[in-house]
Structures are given as structure tokens and as C-alpha cells.
A and B are shown apart, each in its own frame.
Chain A
Amino acid sequence: MITTAVKDKTFDVAEIREQFPILHRLVKGKPLVYFDNAATSQKPQVVIDKLVEYYSGFNANIHRGIHTLAEEATAAFEEARDTAQRFLGAAHREEIIFTKGTTEGINLVASTWGRQNISAGDEIIISAMEHHSNIVPWQILCLEKGATLKVIPIDDNGDIILEEFKKLFTSKTKFVSVVHVSNSLGTVNPVKEIIRIAHDFGVLVLVDGAQSTVHLDIDVVALDCDFFVCSSHKIYGPTGTGVLYGKRSLLEAMPVFQGGGEMIKEVTFASTSYNDLPYKYEAGTPNIADTIAFKTALDFVASVGKKNVRTHENDLLAYATARLEEIAGLRIIGKGKDKISVVSFVIDKVHPSDIGTLLDNRGIAVRTGNHCTQPLMDRLCVPGTIRASFAMYNTRDEIDVFTTALEKSITLLS
């Protein structure tokens, strides 16, 4: 694999930055400081080029065409599946289903496995730090089936309380869906342990990898998760595509999600037989261009080396945390044991949105608000936070620009 070959290559952030054209633009007359990477990452030139190359070189609908363009497009699309399989460590290529992204992946599992296997009185477990995308699909399912949603509590640091998790299991527990890395706090959850515990009770687990896949080495076989979902756009790839991984036996047994082209084997007006995996879950013309460029993004991440990136991002997180802790009246929200790339905070008597506006005036992009995790904000007793989230192209200098601007903003607002 490419990852191992270049693992020890020196990591040069200046060289990395050169590859992201957007980082060279000005915002409000100032050099852009992009700290909203947990929302979406910026795209390297190779990914942008791949989209142009596809549309100008081999755009065609895939799988059925007999002509050259269709063959080229199909080959590139299926190569993306092979790359995604390796990137996630899946055992079989047909376990990789291309989706619109994480949200669609979760909805797919809730609508298919969920509809088939959940009945009145059953229980589904999620955690207190889920994104709305890993709450609402299960709420919809529970409402439809008369099932109950149970929530793993967290402590004040933002860590899952495993002892309490174990106590939630009853004979009615059917499914656990849990986030790998919290988008609001950056907490890395002990998903391997969570999966082991759930499996001891004979319960399946979905891991929401929206935030984790770009930072951590993912090995779905070693994790033994039953489903894993992620989005391309948070891994330096285009928006509108992502992956649902599912164990083959589960995907084979599940009912179909959407009906249409591609997912069928034979159609008559009386009945339809469905295609094999993975096409069974890929109805309609898929997002061909973005999926092909998603492969380019995965190759790009592998070539930089996740280990290098992680070392760099851990340094940024530690540096930002230290700098922020020097600011009077600032309180970091989420002090989990294991954190990645995200620092969330509040400031005494200052509204997050005011800070967001003033930072934007200095070309600094952060996220303010509840980060689509309203129940988590309620649990931590804050209306919202200011969140800075880092990627491979961010620097300590940018953190200095950010903390200086932050201090000025606080002075102005107080």
C-alpha cells in the first residue's frame, strides 16, 4: 500500500498549502485562515483537476454503455470503490456502497435494516454527542415502529461513560449507532470497546465516521463494526458522495433502499429481481464525477501519509489549546481523554455569533452555534460554542493570527 511506502516522508506544510488554491485567496482583504474543516475540508488541485479531466475527457454513464467512454468512466468509478475498500480496510469490494454522504448512509441503514428488524418495544442506542444526522433517522424509525431511543450519557469532559453504556442493554436492544469522533468537541470515542460490548449482547453497531476517516487509520475489519459511514467532502474530496460500508452478509439480507436503474436485475410489470451487491443499493445514475475525484482525494491523503498529518494536527491542537487557555474568561468545551483536530470554546459574557462575525472580518473562518448537536449543547449547558477545526494545511502562524484576532474581538465586545 502507498501509505506504508511514504510514511516516513518529511511533512512540509508549505508544500501542502501550495496544493490548495483556495488558501491563496483573500477574505475581507486578509489572507484566508480556514478553521472550519470539521464542516468541510478544502480541495487540493489534483481533486479539482480530476473533475475537469472527467468532464472533458471521459464523461459517460457507467456500467451499461458498450462504447469507450462508458468503459473508461466505469473503470474509473469502480477503481474508486477499490480505493475506498483499501482506505477503510474492508474485506470485500462489494461491501462499499457509494452514497451521497454520511447522512444518506445512516438513513439507508435505518430505512432498510431498521425497517426489517426493528419492531414495537425494541430499543436503539445512540450517544449524547451525536450529530443530528445520527439522531433523526433513528427517531423517525422509532416513531414508525413504536421503538425507543436510548442515549449513552457523557461526563462533563465530553467522554462517553462506558459503565452506563453497558447498563442500557436489555433483551429489547437491537442496534447501536455511535459517532467515532465528535464534530462539536473532537472527542475520539472508544468505538472498538463499544463494538465489543454491543457484540457481547448480540447487538449490531454502526459507526459514524464523518469526522474520523480523514484523521484516523480506519480498519473496519479490525474494529469489527457492522456498518461504517463517511463523507468524501470532509476527506479533501468533492461534496455529494460518500461511503456506506456494511458487512456483506448484512447487506445481502437487507431489503432494498431505493428503486430504479442500476439496482435491478430484471423488471417486468409483475415483479422485479434485484441486482447483486453493491449495485443493489446504488439506484439511479450515481455521482460519477465526484466519486472518481473522491478516489483522487483518498490517494492524495494516503500519499501525504495519515500518520504525518495526525502528528501535525495534534501539534496544532495542542498549540491552539495552550494559546486559548491563556485568554481570560475563555472556557474550552470538551476536554476528552483523546481528542482530534477540534477545539470548541465559549467566552464569558460574549455571544459566539459576535465572535464569528468579527473573526470573519479578519478573514478567519470558524464555526459558531450548536454544530447540529443541540442535545449535546443542552447536556453541556451552553447555547453554542465557537469551534476551530484544523486540517493538514493549517499552521501555528494561523493559530497566532486567530488568537490575536480573538483577543481583539473580546476587548471590543466587552
Chain B
Amino acid sequence: MNDRTINEIEDEIVEEFSLFDSWDDKYEYIIDLGKKLPELDAQHKIDDNKVRGCQSTVWLVADYRDGRIYYNAESDAVIVKGLISMLIRVLSGQRPGDIVAAPLTFIQRIGMTTHLAQTRSNGLVSMVKQMKNYALAYKLKYQSQ
């Protein structure tokens, strides 16, 4: 469970990024996050869990426990793993309804949308969409009962 809201964590990330002077440093940080991202179990690295629309391969799984969603993901590209790490930090352990509604402003606030020219190939947009899809599915499954 995550006791902080999506907004609070986003603000944290934005503040961390404000410490960097250049995009070289930002990338170094993202790469570092990527290297530290835990590996996904081999059993989850199947076609069904692949996120479409990425130049690298991204696997994403989501579990639902006690009203909250927990994400795990991995990629064969380390920058993408860094992006995944940030998305997991913000969204994992949150309530499905909050995830679906989150505008995720940190992506723009840290300059990622304008800077990562290949946002589509990096799969950032596809990953966010897929994470929200999971949240929507769990929301409909458990909270409409």
C-alpha cells in the first residue's frame, strides 16, 4: 500500500529532477533507476504481457490486492526501465480509480514529453496507457460489485 497520493509522489520526482542542471544528468539518473529496477520473473515475460508500440520490448503485469494495484515491469532497454521505474513509483500501490483519473503531470513537468523525442518509440505513452487499462479493468471488476 502506498500512503502518499499520486500527486505527492509526482511533486517529489519533480523536485528531484529540479536538482539536475542538464539533460545529461537527468539521463544518468534515469539510467541509474533503470539499472536498479528489479527483474521481472521469467514466467511473466510472455507475449501476452508485452506492451505494444515500443521499439524495445516491455513486459508489464499488474496485481490487485486489498483495493490497490501493484505493478511490475521490465524492458530490454535501460532508459525505458528507468521510465518504468518512475511510473511504478508513482502508480504502484494506488487505488484503481485514482490511477485511471491521474493526469500524470510529472512527465511534462520534468520536461520528458518535450525532451524525449522518441516518446512513442520509447513506449512511454503506451506504458501509461497500459497501466491505466489495468486500473480501469480492476476498477470495473471489483468496485462495481
Do A and B interact with each other, yes or no? Answer: yes
Q: Beta-carbon contacts of A351-380 to B below 8 Å, as 1s and 0s?
A: 111101110110000001100000000000
Contact B118 A356 (CB under 8 A): yes
Closest to A357 in B: B79
Q: What would be 21 A-B contacts, judged by CB atoms less than 8 Å apart?
A: A28-B23, A28-B115, A351-B80, A352-B55, A353-B118, A354-B56, A354-B78, A354-B79, A356-B55, A356-B118, A356-B121, A357-B79, A357-B118, A358-B79, A360-B118, A361-B23, A361-B24, A369-B55, A412-B27, A413-B31, A413-B78
Contact indicator A357/B76 (Cβ below 8 Å): no
Report A127 CB to chain B, min CB distance, Å: 25
Give the complex CA separation of A383 and B75 in angstroms: 14
**A369 in contact with B121 given A351-B56, A358-B27, A413-B31 (CB within 8 Å):** yes
Q: Is B102 an interface residue (CB 8 A)?
A: no
Q: Closest approach, in angstroms, between the C-beta of A319 and any C-beta of chain B?
A: 26
A28-B23, A412-B27 as given contacts; A357 in contact with B56, CB under 8 Å? no
* B77 part of interface (Cβ distance < 8 Å): yes
Set of chain A residues within 8 Å of B80, measured between Cβ atoms: 351, 353-354
Closest Cβ of chain A: how far from B107's Cβ, in Å?
A: 15
Interface membership of B117, Cβ < 8 A: yes
Interface size class on chain A is: 10 to 19
Question: Which chain A residues lie closer than 8 Å to B55 at the CB level?
Answer: 352-353, 356, 368-369, 384
Docked complex Cα distance between A37 and B39 (Å): 37
> Known contacts A360-B117, A368-B55, A369-B55; is A353 also within 8 Å of B27 by CB?
no
Question: Which residue of chain A has its CB nearest to the CB of B121?
Answer: A353
One digit per residue, 1 when the CB lies within 8 angstroms of any chain B CB and 0 when it does not, for chain A 239-257 equals 0000000000000000000
The proximity string for A residues 376-414 relative to B, scoring 1 for CB distances below 8 Å and 0 otherwise, is 000000011000000000000000000000000000110
Q: Say if the beta carbon of B137 comes within 8 Å of chain A.
A: no
Distance to closest chain B CB from A158 (angstroms): 22
B116 within 8 A of A: yes
Give me the interface of B with A, judged by CB distance under 8 Å. Answer: 23-24, 27-28, 31, 55-56, 76-80, 115-118, 121-122
Nearest chain A residue, comparing its CB with the CB of B80: A353
Nearest chain B CB to A347's CB is how many angstroms away? 12
How distant is the Cα of A28 from the Cα of B77 in the complex, in angstroms?
22
From A370, which residue of chain B is reached at the shortest CB distance? Answer: B55
Apart from A360-B117, A412-B31, what are 13 other A-B pairs with CB-CB below 8 Å? A351-B76, A351-B78, A353-B77, A354-B77, A357-B79, A357-B122, A358-B27, A361-B27, A369-B121, A383-B76, A412-B27, A412-B28, A413-B31
Flag if A353 contacts B56 (CB, 8 Å). yes
Complex Cα distance A324/B24, Å?
A: 22
Q: Kindly identify which residue among B23, B28, B77 contacts A351, using a CB–CB cutoff of 8 Å.
A: B77
Minimum CB–CB distance for B72 against chain A, Å: 20
Scoring A353, A360, A369 by chain B CB atoms within 10 A of each residue's CB, the highest score goes to A353
Residue of A nearest to B57 (CB): A383
Residues of B within 8 Å of A368, CB to CB, are 55, 121
Specify which chain B residues have a CB less than 8 angstroms from the CB of A383 in the assembled complex: 76
Q: Top 7 A-B pairs ranked by shortest CB distance?
A: A351-B77, A353-B55, A353-B77, A354-B79, A353-B56, A354-B77, A360-B117
Report Cα–Cα, A414/B31, bound state, in Å. 10
Chain A residues whose C-beta falls within 8 Å of the C-beta of B78 in the assembled complex: 351, 354, 413
B76 to chain A, nearest CB (A): 5
CB distance from B34 to the nearest CB of A (A): 9
Residues of A within 8 A of B118 (CB): 353, 356-357, 360
Taking CB atoms, residues of chain A closer than 8 Å to B76 are: 351, 383
CB distance from B30 to the nearest CB of A (A): 9
